[in-house]
Amino acid sequence: MPRKASGNFDQNKYMNDWKKENMKQVGASYKSEFVNEFKAACEALGTSQSDVFREAMQATIEKASSK
C-alpha cells in the first residue's frame, strides 16, 4: 500500500496508481457545432455524455460478439 513519508496511507497515490492500471480513455475530435448539438441533446434527454458513449461501446461489443 502507498505510504507517505510519515508512514500514513497515501489515498491520492493509491487512487492514481489504481486508475493508471485499470482505466483507459477514449477520445475523438469533431466540429464544434456537432459537439455543441450533442451536449445540448444529452442535457435535453437528462443523460450524461459518458453514458451515451458507454452504451454505444457496449452495443458495439455485443454486436461483434454475436458474429
Task: Give the tens place of pLDDT for each residue, 12-46.
Answer: 999 999 999 999 999 999 999 999 999 999 999 99
Residue reference for cell 454505444: 56
pLDDT of residue 15: 94
pTM assigned to the model:
0.73
pLDDT of residue 40: 98
Q: Where are the domains of the chain?
A: 11-65
Residue 3 has pLDDT above 80, yes or no: no
Distances (CA, A) of 30 to 6, 33, 35, 57: 47, 8, 6, 18
In this prediction, residue 6 has a pLDDT band, given cuts at 50, 70 and 90, of confident
